[in-house]
């Protein structure tokens, strides 16, 4: 065992029975037609955390049909925006009133610390409220300079039925980056959470009912990507799909959606750098690096899994990160002081370890960690915090998304070298720059190929700011007004005033 701060005890009891999750279709809960269920074993505690209905084609078809009917009859899209906003704000209130219930089941299913689950689930209410504000303030525009006999109006209309597929790493937060914005726009939805972490999404159905959302406007189907996700991506009654997950699956979804030319929005993987220049505040940078790589055990698309540091300060900065790592509190996620919990599945734990071993074989130096980690009383579905130095751009670890608590360290001498390393992957989700020189920060920010660039900070986010990537990190944006606009179609209305149009066909009488 490394010399780490490990927490084995808990201050919150493991639930005495698993959560039971069912589909929510056309305003009603239901089990699968064939009675199939799936169990989720808690990665941190080894007990059955939840038992969920396991849907198939029948449930997916029913959910899509319910959403299609609800959209076409206008029960949601035709109501005034203030009425939609009222429902969304009520959902936000109910989320805040149920944070403890949501957080506990999320921790049991994901293995993340209870304090983090509380922050994500409670913080999601702000996304719902911001989406509600957009519903009321969204507008088109008008053009009255096209000639004295022409008036044109541009309006925004809901795109229609939206398929929403969410991942296991931030199940409630990422759902809240999508669903309230689609609902605010007037769309109807079919939601499929990851089969690994279905429960907080299933629990949301309670809040939708209590808030007064009309039946069929939001439908939740539980189960695997095949066949549910496949049908949600290909069905002709679906107008748009929004997906968060791996780049590989995102490519499959794009291909599947191509036959019907439905709109696709994707938030995918990342290999995100924090670039540290020689004049940076190293204490601040080291703390942000530790946060960026260990938050959610590195199982985060925004994980700062690589640092690109100036040669003059590389040794000093690595020593600071190693020292801080020994004070990060790993272990039992049901203790409020725990900062880093369990890896989501044994298979993923093995995948992380395989990446690290391959990097060492390729010539990287293992500065810290590098193996599964045993926490007394909880087993070994944990992974040691790992730091790899001596990494070069040619090594697979420098460009592959490990999705674990693994930090790779690369070095540079010049701005051009730093930019080349930053942009030298297929990803482009986020990046960070550390320098006390504003000119350095601005130049880096403008040249970095990333959807978000943080300056002297890491992973500060706000509902007002759009989120998404470039290159193979995705397409489209989430949250903010740009994320809201993803769920709208633009229509131009051209009106001729009076009988002023000259005839195109010349007749004898003319």
For tokens 């989430």, the residue is: 478
**Structure-block tokens of residue 205:** 């159905």
Residues 6+ apart with CB under 8 A from 407: 289, 293, 304, 305, 306, 307, 321, 385, 386, 387, 388
Whether 301 is a known active-site residue: answer: yes
Q: Are strands 430-434 and 452-455 parallel, antiparallel or unpaired?
A: parallel
Phi then psi dihedrals of residue 362, to 5 deg: -80, -5
- The whole-angstrom separation of Cα 281 and Cα 169 is 31
Return the biggest CA–CA distance within the chain.
98
Residues 80-93: b if buried by 16+ CB within 10 A, e if exposed:
ebeebbbbbbbbbe
- Residue 494's region, left for phi above 0, alpha for psi from -120 to 50, else beta, is beta
Tokens describing residue 319: 């020593």
Where would I find the beta strands (DSSP E) of 144-234?
Answer: 150-158, 161-165, 188-192, 218-220
Chain-centre distance of CA 346, in angstroms? 22
Q: Which of 59, 195, 267, 401 is catalytic?
A: 267
Nearest to 427 by CA among 248, 241, 170: 248
Q: In the structure encoding, which two tokens stand for residue 155, read together?
A: 């309006």
Give the CB-side neighbour count of residue 205, counting CA atoms within 13 A.
Answer: 28
Closest CA to 195 of 39, 72, 356, 316: 39
Is 395:359 a contact under the CB 8 Å cutoff?
Answer: yes
- The rounded distance, in Å, linking the Cα atoms of 102 and 203 is 8
Three-class secondary structure assignment of 86-123:
HHHHHHHHHHHHCHHHHHHHHHHHHCCCHHHHHHHHHH
CA distances, 408 to each of 274, 359, 384, 449 (Å): 11, 10, 14, 19
Catalytic position from the list 218, 301, 401, 478? 301
Backbone angles phi, psi at 310, to 5 degrees: -60, 140
Dihedral-angle region of residue 312 (phi above 0 means left; psi in -120 to 50 means alpha; beta otherwise): alpha
Active site members: 267, 301
């Amino acid at each position: 065992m490394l010399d780490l701060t490990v927490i084995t005890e808990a201050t919150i009891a493991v639930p005495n029975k698993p959560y039971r999750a069912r589909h929510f279709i056309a305003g009603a809960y239901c089990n699968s037609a064939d009675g199939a269920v799936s169990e989720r074993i808690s990665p941190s505690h080894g007990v059955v955390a939840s038992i969920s209905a396991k849907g198939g084609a029948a449930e997916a078809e029913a959910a899509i049909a319910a959403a299609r009917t609800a959209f076409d009859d206008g029960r949601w899209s035709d109501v005034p925006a203030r009425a939609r906003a009222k429902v969304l704000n009520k959902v936000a209130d109910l989320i805040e009133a149920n944070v403890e219930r949501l957080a506990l089941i999320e921790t049991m299913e994901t293995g993340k610390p209870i304090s983090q689950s509380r922050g994500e689930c409670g913080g999601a209410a702000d996304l719902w409220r911001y989406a509600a504000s957009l519903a009321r303030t969204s507008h088109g525009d008008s053009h009255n300079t096209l000639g004295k006999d022409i008036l044109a109006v541009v309006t925004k209309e809901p795109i229609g039925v939206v398929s929403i597929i969410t991942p296991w790493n931030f199940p409630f937060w990422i759902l809240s980056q999508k669903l309230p914005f689609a609902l605010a726009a007037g769309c109807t939805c079919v939601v499929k959470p990851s089969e690994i972490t279905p429960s907080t999404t299933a629990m949301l159905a309670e809040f939708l009912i209590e808030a007064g959302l009309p039946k069929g406007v939001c439908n939740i189907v539980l189960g695997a990507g095949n066949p549910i996700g496949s049908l949600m991506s290909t069905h002709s009654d679906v107008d748009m799909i929004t997906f968060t997950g791996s780049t590989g699956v995102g490519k499959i979804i794009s291909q599947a959606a191509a036959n019907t030319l439905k709109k696709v929005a994707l938030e995918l993987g990342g290999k995100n750098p924090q670039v540290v220049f020689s004049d940076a505040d190293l204490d601040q940078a080291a703390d942000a690096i530790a946060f960026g790589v260990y938050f959610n055990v590195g199982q985060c698309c925004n994980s700062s899994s690589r640092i690109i540091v100036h040669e003059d300060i590389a040794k000093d900065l690595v020593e600071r990160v190693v020292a801080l790592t020994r004070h990060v509190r790993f272990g039992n996620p049901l203790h409020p002081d725990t900062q880093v919990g369990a890896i989501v599945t044994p298979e993923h734990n093995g995948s992380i370890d395989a990446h690290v071993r391959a990097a060492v074989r390729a010539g990287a130096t293992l500065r810290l960690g590098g193996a599964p980690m045993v926490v007394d009383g909880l087993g070994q579905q944990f992974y040691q915090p790992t730091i790899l130095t001596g990494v070069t751009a040619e090594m697979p670890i420098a460009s592959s998304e490990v999705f674990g608590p693994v930090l790779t360290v690369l070095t540079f001498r010049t701005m051009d070298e730093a930019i080349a390393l930053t942009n030298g992957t297929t990803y482009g989700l986020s990046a960070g720059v550390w320098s006390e020189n504003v000119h350095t920060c601005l130049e880096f920010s403008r040249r970095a190929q990333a959807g978000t660039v943080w300056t002297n900070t890491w992973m500060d986010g706000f509902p007002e700011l759009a989120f998404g990537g470039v290159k193979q990190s995705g397409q489209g944006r989430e949250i903010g007004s740009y994320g809201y606009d993803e769920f709208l179609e633009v229509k131009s209305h051209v009106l001729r005033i009076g009988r002023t149009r000259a005839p195109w066909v010349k007749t004898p009488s003319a």
